[in-house]
Amino acid sequence: MQTNLDLQNTFSRTSSHLTERLKERHFHKVSSSSPDFVDLVDHVLADAPTDMQTRLRFEWLEYGPLNQLVSDTAITEIIVNGPDSIWFEKDGQLQKHHDQFLSPLTYNNIVQRICDEARITVDQNQPAKDGRWNDFRLHVLIPPIAKNSTSLCLRRHPRRPWTLDQLQDLAWGQPSALAYLKSCLQTKKNLLVAGPTGSGKTSVLNALLQEVPGNDRVVVIEDTDEIHCPNKASVKLLTRTSCDYKAFSQMDLVIQALRMRPNRLVMGEVRGEEAKDLLMALATGHKGSFFTLHASDPRQALWRLEMLIQLGAPQWGIDAIRGLIKLSLDELVIVRQDTDGRRVLEGIYKIQSLEPFGFILEKIM
């Protein structure tokens, strides 16, 4: 039975042979997918123990220790802090991977391979980048911003979006709550979906979108490609951060969306000054819209929303900001993750009234 030490020793030996062969063939820079390099790796690994050849091929030609994690569809998130620190989330629980990259060189090569396949560039001008890689949302952060090593985060998104009926089958919420959400969509209520990181906000957003009628035009705005358009009449707008071209923020995209005849507006996550423009749009007739926000409870969600609107309108007083929220927001859907890892509905809240001291909330479900 192979041990990690045996694997590491075999890797070191084959790495030396591979480097020598590359020098002999005057390969100064070669793609890992090129036939010549693949043949060379196969030749070098021919002398390696049979039970190690597959793992070593993964290291040189594919994704190393990530191969096993990427192919396991029950794994929802993969977090890599460095060559020897790999974690994954399965069944709602974060676990440490038993395997690791065999060298910093192959780790960096594999990260670069993933970035190339995702068509994103990460360098000192853009040390942090988001993207889409296969079924995953990708986030990369390189040194010196990431102190010790490149950080890689992969969050899996289902190929088919969740539906409210599927959420009910998973005991996400009571049947009456799911029925109420369906009625909110039919009556075109504006919804805020809030919860902590990893609580399933995007999944809920996608499930809500599946209830939108086929002739409703939805304009979806987000930073990374995660939300499924509900029908062919709908369209998606993505932000752009670029050193070479004009950047487009979510605030810019709200302005563009309003010129595209939307029946509904959907924003993946409100995190900045775009909150003011989005809520202004909701207050002026774009009913049946929804968006997400990071917050642990309904009061924190409203407090954060106030702060974000103020970023876009620093001259506004708190009364004007709260008035806009009361006018444009109908329901708050709060989600959370249980201690056993299950994503559940915490509650559905309504702003009952706006008083001089703040909002009065009513828990409906």
Same domain as 322, residue 192: yes
Q: Domain check: are 324 and 251 in the same one?
A: yes
**Residues 37, 174: one domain?**
no
Long-range pairs for 305-311: beta carbons < 8 A, 24 or more residues apart: 305/192, 305/270, 305/275, 305/279, 305/329, 308/270, 308/271, 308/272, 308/273, 308/274, 308/275, 308/276, 309/275, 309/276, 309/279, 311/272, 311/273, 311/275, 311/276
Structural domains of the chain, count? 2
Q: What is the DSSP letter of 249?
A: -
User: Domain span at residue 88?
Assistant: 4-156
User: Of 107, 129, 156, which one is at a domain's C-terminal end?
Assistant: 156
**Residue 341: its pLDDT value, please?**
81
Q: CATH number of the domain that 9 lies in?
A: 3.30.450.380
Please list the ranges in the chain whose pLDDT falls under 50. 1
* Pair 206, 171 in one domain: yes
Same domain? For 244 and 329 the reply is yes
Residues 222 and 125 in one domain: no
Same domain for 189 and 104, yes or no, is no
Q: What is the DSSP letter of 339?
A: T
pTM here is 0.83
Residue 276 neighbours by CB distance under 10 Å: 23
pLDDT, tens only, 115-158: 999 999 999 988 999 888 998 999 999 999 999 899 999 999 87
Instruction: Judge if 115 and 8 occupy the same domain.
Output: yes
Asked whether 193 and 335 are in contact (CB, 8 A), the reply is: yes
Within 8 A by CB and 6+ apart from 258, the residues are 281
pLDDT of residue 241: 76
Please indicate, yes or no, whether residues 185 and 59 belong to a single structural domain of this protein. Answer: no
Residue finishing a domain among 156, 178, 202: 156
pLDDT for the residue 47: 77
Residues 241 and 343 in one domain: yes
Asked if 177 and 345 count as a contact pair (C-beta separation under 8 A), the reply is yes
Same domain membership, residue 229 and residue 107: no
Say what the pLDDT of residue 212 is.
Answer: 94
What's the pLDDT at 157? 84
pLDDT for 224: 84
Q: What is the pLDDT of residues 55-93, one digit of tens each?
A: 888 988 899 999 999 999 999 999 999 999 999 999 888
Instruction: Note the pLDDT of residue 13.
Output: 80
Q: Which of 156, 183, 206 is the last residue of a domain?
A: 156
Neighbours of 144 (CB within 10 A): 8
The answer to whether the beta carbons of residues 65 and 97 sit under 8 Å apart is yes
What are the CA-CA distances from residue 327 to residues 35, 253, 283 (Å)?
A: 62, 22, 6
Between β-strands 151-156 and 191-195, what pairing exists: parallel, antiparallel or unpaired?
A: unpaired
Is residue 114 domain-shared with residue 239, that is, in the same domain? no
